[in-house]
């Protein structure tokens, strides 16, 4: 573009181009273009409980267009009224994408081959036909998850943004909705950046898109934003606490009912919040007895409902106690990854995952490395499995960056707000395999403190590394944790199991340890010679030898190997892996079991018999 053209009154997009002094090419020189769209950022405080609410689905076909250079933000496409390209009098770089569409929820990477490795911005657009409901209602857009940053526009107006790729967010539409026709646009950007959470280097595939359900939620002018119902820790299962947060600092009385346990409990509310404890002796939830109660809570016109299990999890010395009984966590790790659906989780996929875990005789899953779909905990409540949920504070996070901490802390609080009434979740994980630096210690201790501030009914852990200098299980972060998680790959990245023997011999812990990762790659169907890498016999043999050692260490109270299914990762490009991590006990078809599956299943069955507490 040469200088003289820039000063001529040539037309640019939209009618404003002809205004005196308007530079139609300003967007070519403005690298601060994204700043306005980082404002009005929503987070955990703007969430609202949807338990028992009607969510009007907006899933299905949306117009879609990739926008690698963020032209839509730079040129403010959203301000141009939609107009068929045949009627334009000035050219645009965007036509609402009505020549191509995609289905929401989805990951664009698995929709078209040419979109597989796309990392950048993209636009979802749809028309929304809106009919007002009750007088005074407030209308929110709920997005189940969009990776990584999302910006919402309604009828040409920017309404808000959200950071974080695995937790729900809410944008209020009320004041900007037309009766009848509306135009809803969502810009999603899945770029990996050093200051994001996770940062730009991970061992899982960077999917992009609106990959969980999206819909409208209508609530009364004054509504229940959040509530929790749980056993009071230390009450030996004899007291229940309920807390309620309203959308405004109003006062009054909320009413709580728990079928078969408590009817019409009055919860005084003052300044928008209320908390009450009362005597009750529920039938306790456990994997062997996944007892759920129908809970109702109301305030004014607003009423919510949920199915909630009551249980207590705590540590005592080196032991983990569920409802007062010693428990050993027979676990398996799992990613949210599917060969055909990418990061989209369906109910069928989650139920298959849990059926496979039960076939392993597992009682525990680590949902790695980010908050999974809300159905994961809801179904685990129902089928009786214990869960570890975590935020993607993974590897070399920008620990010294306060914005990065704010992002991680918000994702953590969103996860806890969303899933706080799920009995199956017993552990919040605040990170994975992070170097023990001062900045990391402050950052992750801060996250552990946030867990305890938000929720006193669960344990806090992290998947830590060993102290290489002393070759023992030692991490300054342990002070802030209830359970020490340990990722170790003796028998794979460190070929000899002698290292694990030495580590256990050198270590003495005053709290429970859970092996949060170990494993080996194996090509499904390739037996391999004994000891041959990427063979099923080597993977199976590793599990046998790992468990022999794990069972010898009294403070190891859980074993959670890596991983249930093979999964996509750009990092693995050997002849065997070709873009997949093959440490799964089941291949990427989620059907073909490897030899190690049977090995672990048999060992867990023996463990279940030996240490059979009141539970599977």
Query: Which residue, 203 or 474, is less far from ligand GCU as judged by CB?
Result: 203
Query: Which residue, 433 or 475, is less far from ligand GCU as judged by CB?
Result: 433
Q: Which of 49, 424, 487, 546 binds ligand GCU (CB under 6 A)?
A: 487
Q: Which of 149, 203, 213, 475 binds ligand GCU (CB under 6 A)?
A: 203
- By beta carbon distance, the residue nearest ligand GCU is 203
CB of 334 to ligand GCU, least distance (A): 12
Distance CA 238, CA 220 (A): 35
Distance CA 523, CA 525 (A): 6
Q: Are 469 and 475 in contact (CB under 8 A)?
A: no
Q: How remote is the C-alpha of 6 from its chain's centroid? A: 47
Helix (H, G, I), strand (E, B) or coil at 545: helix
Distance CA 549, CA 161 (A): 49
Query: Which residue, 432 or 461, is less far from ligand GCU as judged by CB?
Result: 432
Distance CA 577, CA 582 (A): 7
Q: Which helix (H) or strand (E) holds 353?
A: helix 347-359
CB of 521 to ligand GCU, least distance (A): 7
Q: Which of 109, 581, 599, 601 binds ligand GCU (CB under 6 A)?
A: 581
Q: Which has the closest alpha carbon to 205: 335, 69, 353, 373? A: 335
Query: Which residue, 171 or 447, is less far from ligand GCU as judged by CB?
Result: 447
CB of 324 to ligand GCU, least distance (A): 32
Query: Which residue, 494 or 548, is less far from ligand GCU as judged by CB?
Result: 494
CB of 394 to ligand GCU, least distance (A): 7
Distance CA 509, CA 511 (A): 6
Token pair for 150:
């999302």
Distance CA 216, CA 58 (A): 7
CB of 486 to ligand GCU, least distance (A): 10
Start-to-end CA distance of the chain, whole Å, equals: 71
Q: Does 433 bind ligand GCU (CB under 6 A)?
A: yes
CB of 139 to ligand GCU, least distance (A): 39
Q: Does 546 bind ligand GCU (CB under 6 A)?
A: no
| DSSP for residue 232 | P
Q: Are 457 and 230 in contact (CB under 8 A)?
A: yes
Q: Which has the closest alpha carbon to 293: 314, 316, 311, 318? A: 311
CB of 487 to ligand GCU, least distance (A): 4
Q: Are 292 and 302 in contact (CB under 8 A)?
A: no
Q: Does 432 bind ligand GCU (CB under 6 A)?
A: yes
Query: Which residue, 349 or 521, is less far from ligand GCU as judged by CB?
Result: 521
Q: Does 539 bind ligand GCU (CB under 6 A)?
A: no
CB of 380 to ligand GCU, least distance (A): 21
Query: Which residue, 125 or 147, is less far from ligand GCU as judged by CB?
Result: 147
CB of 464 to ligand GCU, least distance (A): 11
Q: Does 488 bind ligand GCU (CB under 6 A)?
A: no
Q: Are 272 and 248 in contact (CB under 8 A)?
A: yes
Q: Which of 62, 140, 405, 562 binds ligand GCU (CB under 6 A)?
A: 562
Q: Which helix (H) or strand (E) holds 493?
A: none
Over the window 350 to 369, marking each residue x when it contacts ligand GCU by CB under 6 A and - when it does not, the resulting string is: -------------------x
Distance CA 609, CA 611 (A): 6
Q: Does 461 bind ligand GCU (CB under 6 A)?
A: no
Contacting ligand GCU within 135-154 (CB under 6 A): none
Query: Which residue, 405 or 562, is less far from ligand GCU as judged by CB?
Result: 562
Q: Which of 511, 583, 590, 593 binds ligand GCU (CB under 6 A)?
A: 583
Query: Which residue, 45 or 201, is less far from ligand GCU as judged by CB?
Result: 201
CB of 567 to ligand GCU, least distance (A): 8
Total residues in contact with ligand GCU, by rule CB under 6 A: 9
Query: Which residue, 306 or 433, is less far from ligand GCU as judged by CB?
Result: 433
Q: Which of 455, 517, 541, 566 binds ligand GCU (CB under 6 A)?
A: 517
Q: Which has the closest alpha carbon to 559: 611, 516, 602? A: 516
Query: Which residue, 336 or 455, is less far from ligand GCU as judged by CB?
Result: 336
Q: Which has the closest alpha carbon to 487: 469, 465, 506? A: 465
Over the window 368 to 397, marking each residue x when it contacts ligand GCU by CB under 6 A and - when it does not, the resulting string is: -x----------------------------
Distance CA 616, CA 606 (A): 11
CB of 295 to ligand GCU, least distance (A): 36
Distance CA 401, CA 411 (A): 16
CB of 503 to ligand GCU, least distance (A): 16
Distance CA 555, CA 362 (A): 19
Distance CA 538, CA 541 (A): 5
Can you state the angle between helices 595-610 and 536-550, rounded to 10 degrees?
Answer: 20
Q: Are 306 and 236 in contact (CB under 8 A)?
A: no
Distance CA 163, CA 27 (A): 24
Question: C-alpha dihedral over 358, 361, 366, 367, to 10 degrees?
Answer: -10
CB of 333 to ligand GCU, least distance (A): 8
Q: Which has the closest alpha carbon to 425: 470, 379, 467, 393? A: 379
CB of 519 to ligand GCU, least distance (A): 7
Question: C-alpha dihedral over 37, 38, 40, 44, to 10 degrees?
Answer: 140
CB of 202 to ligand GCU, least distance (A): 7
Token pair for 530:
């004994």
Sequential DSSP letters for 123-152: EEEEEEEE---STT-EEEEEES-EESEEEE
Query: Which residue, 109 or 432, is less far from ligand GCU as judged by CB?
Result: 432
Query: Which residue, 285 or 399, is less far from ligand GCU as judged by CB?
Result: 399
Q: Does 410 bind ligand GCU (CB under 6 A)?
A: no
Query: Which residue, 323 or 569, is less far from ligand GCU as judged by CB?
Result: 569
Q: Torsion-angle region of residue 449: left (phi > 0), alpha (psi -120 to 50) or beta?
A: alpha
Residue 439: CB atoms within 10 A of its CB come to 15
CB of 305 to ligand GCU, least distance (A): 37
Contacting ligand GCU within 53-92 (CB under 6 A): none
Query: Which residue, 369 or 458, is less far from ligand GCU as judged by CB?
Result: 369
Query: Which residue, 203 or 541, is less far from ligand GCU as judged by CB?
Result: 203
Residues lying near ligand GCU in the complex (CB under 6 A): 203, 369, 432-433, 487, 517, 562, 581, 583
């Amino acid at each position: 573009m040469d200088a003289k053209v820039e000063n001529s009154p040539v037309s640019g997009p939209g009618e404003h181009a002809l205004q005196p002094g308007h530079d139609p090419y300003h967007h070519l020189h403005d690298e601060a273009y994204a700043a306005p769209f980082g404002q009005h950022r929503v987070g955990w405080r703007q969430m609202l409980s949807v338990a028992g609410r009607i969510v009007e689905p907006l899933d299905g076909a949306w117009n879609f267009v990739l926008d690698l250079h963020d032209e839509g933000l730079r040129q403010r496409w959203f301000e141009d009224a939609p107009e068929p390209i045949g009627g334009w009098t000035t050219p645009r770089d965007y036509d609402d994408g009505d020549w191509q569409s995609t289905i929401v929820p989805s990951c664009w990477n698995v929709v078209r081959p040419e979109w597989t490795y796309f990392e950048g911005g993209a636009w979802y657009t749809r028309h929304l036909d809106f009919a007002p409901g009750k007088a005074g209602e407030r209308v929110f857009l709920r997005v189940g998850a969009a990776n990584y940053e999302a910006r919402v526009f309604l009828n040409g107006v920017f309404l808000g943004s959200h950071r974080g790729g695995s937790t729900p967010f809410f944008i209020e539409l009320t004041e900007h909705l037309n009766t009848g026709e509306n135009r809803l646009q969502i810009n999603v950007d899945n770029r990996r950046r050093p200051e994001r959470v996770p940062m730009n280097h991970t061992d899982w595939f960077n999917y992009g898109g609106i990959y969980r359900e999206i819909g409208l939620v209508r609530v009364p002018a004054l509504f229940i934003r959040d509530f929790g119902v749980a056993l009071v820790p230390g009450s030996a299962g004899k007291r229940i606490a309920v807390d309620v947060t309203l959308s405004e600092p109003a006062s009054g009385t909320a009413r709580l009912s728990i079928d078969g346990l408590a009817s019409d409990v009055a919860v005084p509310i003052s300044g928008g919040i209320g908390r009450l404890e009362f005597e009750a002796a529920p039938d306790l939830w456990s994997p062997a007895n996944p007892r759920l109660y129908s809970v109702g809570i109301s305030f004014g016109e607003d009423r919510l409902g949920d199915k909630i299990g009551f249980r207590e999890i705590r540590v005592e010395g080196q032991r983990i106690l569920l409802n007062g009984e010693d428990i050993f966590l027979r676990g398996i790790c799992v990613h949210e990854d599917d060969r055909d659906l990418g990061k989209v989780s369906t109910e069928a996929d989650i139920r298959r995952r849990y059926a496979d875990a039960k076939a392993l005789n597992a009682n525990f899953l680590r949902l790695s490395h980010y908050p999974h779909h809300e159905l994961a905990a809801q179904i685990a409540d129902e089928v009786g499995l214990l869960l570890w949920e975590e935020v993607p504070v993974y590897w070399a996070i920008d620990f010294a960056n306060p914005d990065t901490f704010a992002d991680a802390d918000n994702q953590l609080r969103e996860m806890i707000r969303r899933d706080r009434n799920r009995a199956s979740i017993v552990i919040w994980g605040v990170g994975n395999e992070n170097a023990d630096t001062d900045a990391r210690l402050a950052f992750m201790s801060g996250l552990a403190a946030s867990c305890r501030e938000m929720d006193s009914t669960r344990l806090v852990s992290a998947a830590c590394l060993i102290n290489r200098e002393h070759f023992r299980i030692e991490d300054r972060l342990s002070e802030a944790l209830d359970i020490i998680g340990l990722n170790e790959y003796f028998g794979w990245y460190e070929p000899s199991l002698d290292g694990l023997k030495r580590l256990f011999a050198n270590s003495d812990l005053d709290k429970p340890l859970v092996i949060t990762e170990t494993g080996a790659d194996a090509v499904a169907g390739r037996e391999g010679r004994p000891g041959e890498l990427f063979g099923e016999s080597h993977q199976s043999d590793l599990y046998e030898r790992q468990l022999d050692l794990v069972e010898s260490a009294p403070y190891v109270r859980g074993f959670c190997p890596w991983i249930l299914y093979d999964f996509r990762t750009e990092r693995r490009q050997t002849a065997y892996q070709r873009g997949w991590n093959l440490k799964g006990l089941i291949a990427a078809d989620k059907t073909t079991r490897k030899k190690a599956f049977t090995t672990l299943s048999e060992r867990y069955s023996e463990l279940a018999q030996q240490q059979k507490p009141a539970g599977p």
